[in-house]
Amino acid sequence: MSFYYTRIVHFQDTDAAGVVYFVNVLAMCHEAYEASLAAFDINLKVFFSNQEIATPIIHANVDFRRPMFCGDELNIELMPKGWGDDEFEISYHVFLKEIGEKWTARANTKHVCIHPQTRTRQKLSHEMKTWLLSF
């Protein structure tokens, strides 16, 4: 199962050449991640400000097949996968709505669960395990 997020490319997402700046694709993917958490009733304010548990990104990459421009409507497919008790990975496929099935960009983020103060690994929360298992 996947989660889908729709978004319009804004002017601020583009560079001087008028195409989406590469870093902004990762930002859009992160928006999809946040939307998926919210769709599973995870309180984003609590999740991102929790003093006991955090899941920072430890690796990210993005590949491009074709440019995206201001006004393009995107469908972002999110597919998370758990790796043990304390980390997970999310694969994203970004599609231009007008083209359909061929991805225009794909990205990947890897997250690890830590205690925010000690920065030591710890097990994922019950709500994150439930979120991961729902896919």
Structural domain count, the chain = 1
Residue 99 has pLDDT above 90, yes or no: no
**Reduced to 3 states, what is the DSSP secondary structure of residue 14?**
strand
- 21 φ, ψ to 5°? -70, 135
Residue 126: its H or E element: helix 126-133
Residue of 13, 15, 63, 86 with catalytic role: 15
Q: pTM of this prediction?
A: 0.93
Average pLDDT of span 72-86: 95
| pLDDT-based confidence at residue 102 (cuts at 50, 70, 90) | confident
Domain range for 17: 3-133
According to DSSP, the residues that pair with 106 across neighbouring strands are 63, 93
Q: What is the pLDDT of residue 130?
A: 94
15 assigned to active site: yes
CATH of the domain at 39: 3.10.129.10
pLDDT for 17-65, tens place per residue? 999 999 999 999 999 999 999 999 999 999 999 999 999 999 999 999 9
Distance CA 124, CA 127 (A): 8
